[in-house]
């Protein structure tokens, strides 16, 4: 347990360092305006990263954890997932090429950067393979292997990203956002060939419609996710630009991306420990409830303590990660941290939905939180005497206070219903 935790902490520490260096380079070479301009492309990269290969990484983690002791099912599922991922990513590439000019106008305001869109679309094909391999590794709960793939992937990426941003300016900065994930394919393939038997995979591999149906549920969930939050960010970013300017959009973007760094760590932790653990417990409702309570206490208390430390060092951290031009972000960081605290709580319940492949509930939850976010920001603008940047951050808090309450109410009634069913069956 200790070695596994250390592996995850160290590997994600490298990922955090990479993300911070990337933000620092963009901040130094492009400033708040540049970060604000890149904001929409960052949302697009998030979309490509999530949908790469059909966005099936959570599905792979779930079913590999369930099938790992039955080779016939396991290799049949992995083969089906691999074929599905490659085909899906090729379709995305074709559509991106066809609509590259339109997407460039939507994201950058002109069609000069259509080549950057195509570059990102090509990268998501490679990323789809990475997602399959990482999903398999996480399903096995092999923290050491996952750590090696992550660490070597980001180490390889550092010099490439630095070259892109320093010598290719705005276009290079845009391309650098997708480089790290794509280059992770090199260590992923090398380590997988060393740890997994290719001959055994060939023997048991077969395409199965049942597995296609199972994995497509996760595609639907991730497609909804990718068409809600990143798009809501684009809408809100445009509202900020129209009302308080591009520089303020850059300030908001800086805290959003800084938040994404540490929230990503929590996501990795839940992905690796929490979701496979829930999948292994099956319908044992009492065990699931104990796990939920345990993880809720550990993660929320840890986040609260870290947030206090983060808040008091805000000026130092912002100067270190970005530049002195971004110091005004310190005035809003308390709002971001409070909102993230509530969001972390909702993450825990959200992973139960993913682990149980509850497609309809997941879709409803994603639409709910993003609709709330955009609506609260919009009505704050419409009915307030003057729109300020703090309005957006306060809206973020309100959204996740409401969303967390909804999540735990849904979980309470779900737990109560499942427990009643188990009592009747026994």
Q: pLDDT per residue over 122-157, tens digit each?
A: 888 888 888 888 888 877 777 778 788 888 888 888
Task: Name the residue ranges covered by the structural domains of the chain.
Answer: 1-227, 245-426
Residue 139, CA distances (Å) to 65, 325, 411 in order: 5, 43, 24
pLDDT-based confidence at residue 336 (cuts at 50, 70, 90): very high
Is the pLDDT confidence value at 383 over 70? Answer: yes
Cα–Cα distance, 160 to 153 (Å, whole number): 11
Q: Single out the residue of 198, 239, 260 nearest to residue 384, CA to CA.
A: 239
- As a residue count, the chain comes to 426
pTM over 0.75: no
User: What is the DSSP code (8-state) at residue 403?
Assistant: H
pLDDT tens digits, one per residue of 209-251: 888 888 887 777 777 776 777 778 888 888 888 888 878 888 8
Q: How many helical (H) and strand (E) elements, i.e. helices and strands, does the chain have?
A: 17, 0
Residue 311: Cβ within 10 Å count? 15
Is the pLDDT confidence value at 333 over 60? Answer: yes
pLDDT at residue number 21: 78
pLDDT-based confidence at residue 341 (cuts at 50, 70, 90): very high
Give yes or no for a contact between 120 and 103, defined as CB atoms under 8 angstroms apart. Answer: no
Phi-psi region of 358 (alpha: psi -120 to 50; beta: other; left: phi over 0): beta
pLDDT-based confidence at residue 338 (cuts at 50, 70, 90): very high
Cα–Cα distance, 207 to 399 (Å, whole number): 42
Is the pLDDT confidence value at 19 over 60? Answer: yes
Distance of CA 272 to the CA centre of its chain: 14
Cα–Cα distance, 337 to 334 (Å, whole number): 5
Residue 360, CA distances (Å) to 212, 314, 318, 367 in order: 18, 40, 40, 11
Residue 419, CA distances (Å) to 32, 67, 284, 423 in order: 52, 26, 9, 6
Q: What is the mean pLDDT of the chain?
A: 79
């Amino acid at each position: 347990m200790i070695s596994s935790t250390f592996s995850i902490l160290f590997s994600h520490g490298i990922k955090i360092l990479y993300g911070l260096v990337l933000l620092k380079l963009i901040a130094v070479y492009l400033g708040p305006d540049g970060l604000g301009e890149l904001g929409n492309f960052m949302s697009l990269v998030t979309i490509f990263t999530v949908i790469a290969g059909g966005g099936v990484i959570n599905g792979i983690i779930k079913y590999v954890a369930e099938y790992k002791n039955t080779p016939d099912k396991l290799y049949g599922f992995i083969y089906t997932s691999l074929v599905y991922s490659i085909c899906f990513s090729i379709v995305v590439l074709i559509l991106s090429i066809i609509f590259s000019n339109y997407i460039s106008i939507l994201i950058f305001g002109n069609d000069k950067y259509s080549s950057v869109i195509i570059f990102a679309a090509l990268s998501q094909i490679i990323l789809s393979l990475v997602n399959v391999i990482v999903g398999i590794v996480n399903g096995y709960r092999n923290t050491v292997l996952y750590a090696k793939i992550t660490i070597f992937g980001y180490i390889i990426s550092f010099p490439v990203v630095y070259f892109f941003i320093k010598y290719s300016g705005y276009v290079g900065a845009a391309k650098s956002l997708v480089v790290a994930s794509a280059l992770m394919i090199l260590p992923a393939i090398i380590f997988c060939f060393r740890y997994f038997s290719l001959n055994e995979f060939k023997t048991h591999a077969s395409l199965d419609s049942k597995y296609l149906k199972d994995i497509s549920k996760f595609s639907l969930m991730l497609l909804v996710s990718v068409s809600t939050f990143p798009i809501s960010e684009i809408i809100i970013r445009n509202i900020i630009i129209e009302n308080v300017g591009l520089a303020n959009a850059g300030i908001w973007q800086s805290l959003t991306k800084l938040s994404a760094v540490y929230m990503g760590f929590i996501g990795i932790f839940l992905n690796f420990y929490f979701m496979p653990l829930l999948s292994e417990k099956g319908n044992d409702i009492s065990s699931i409830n104990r796990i939920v309570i345990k993880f809720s206490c550990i993660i929320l208390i840890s986040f609260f303590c870290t947030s206090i430390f983060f808040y008091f060092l805000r000026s130092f951290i912002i100067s270190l990660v970005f530049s002195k031009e971004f110091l005004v972000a310190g005035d809003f960081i308390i709002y971001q941290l409070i909102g993230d605290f509530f969001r972390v709580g909702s993450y825990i319940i959200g992973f139960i939905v993913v682990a149980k492949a509850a497609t309809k509930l997941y879709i409803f939850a994603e639409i709910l939180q993003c609709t709330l976010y955009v609506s609260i920001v919009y009505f704050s603008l419409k009915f307030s005497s003057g729109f300020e940047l703090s309005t957006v951050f306060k809206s973020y808090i309100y959204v996740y206070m409401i969303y967390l309450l909804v999540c735990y109410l849904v979980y309470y009634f779900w737990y109560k219903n499942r427990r009643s069913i188990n009592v009747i069956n026994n």
